[in-house]
Amino acid sequence: MASETPTSDVNRDVSHFPQEPVKSVAPLKLAALTDREESEILRFLSRRPIHTVCMASYIQDHGVVSPLNRGIFYGCRNAAGVLKGVALIGHATLVETQSNLALKVFAELNHQHRTSHLIRGEHGLITRFWEHYARLGHSPRLACRESLLEQTEAVPSHARAPQLRLATLDDLATITRINAAMVFSECGIDPLKSDRIGFCDRIARRIKNNRVYVWQRGTRLVFKADVFAETPDMIYLEGVNVHPRERGKGHGLRCMAHLSSLLLKRSRGICLLVNEQKKALRSFYRKVGFKARGSYDTIYLDAHVE
């Protein structure tokens, strides 16, 4: 899963990526995927929607081939032409496969292009991917272990629900400032310095697509949450934030409960990632109705990729 998700948003020109099949490693063939294969790719990704929501949402939003995906989708097929793995190689490296050979192929491909800012996925899958990747001379700049949490049923709340609304472009400056601070806190890179225009453009696009919810009291933006990715099976949230001066007052619980009730009307589940060291935050989400579904690893690569 990937984060623009809570991650540095550095714009990348992906025009230099190879668009034709690039290599064969018996018994797998690696090729850049195309829009003609969209239905097949989405069927493959739909087998594990909680783990593939970001890739599936990119494709549903932009198509298989688009600069807005900030990378190139590749597929590994066996000798019979059956898809055995899908990876997005670009700003974020996201991989879905049960094949160790496919992981090796994707790791070698990622090594060739060296454009990834981060690698993110299930702990077991990323551990195997990193074994191949590290042999090629890579070391992490920063590594984080995160809990994958999921909610499938809204938790009834007797408290008065805050009047959440969809953000507008009038909120862009405030939301951009909050998201940039969260990115810096997570990975140590300020996207307003590394890629101000691209970062602002992506947040503006998210707002225009009705994927940012806020609660404002007076002039203060008390609560904010971003729908980073969405499919009929899963919604991935990031950038959940309560204003520092409003914390500890129950606002976050009421806002999240209300938001969950809204989102679960259009998707079967909601998921998000929380750093495993933030025990209080994990407890907060449990109160809202989220349950642990596994561990994730996010590995940030060398800062020079910025």
What are 106-121's pLDDT values in tens digits? Answer: 999 999 887 789 999 9
Residues in the chain: 306
Q: Which domains does the chain have, with CATH numbers?
A: 23-146+301-305 (3.40.630.30), 165-294 (3.40.630.30)
Element (H, E) at 24: strand 23-25
pLDDT tens digit string along 127-185? 999 999 999 999 999 999 999 999 999 887 766 777 899 999 999 999 999 999 999 99
Question: What's the whole-model pTM score?
Answer: 0.88
Cα gap 195→201, rounded to integer Å: 10
Rounded to the nearest 10°, the torsion over CA 282, 173, 58, 105 is: -70
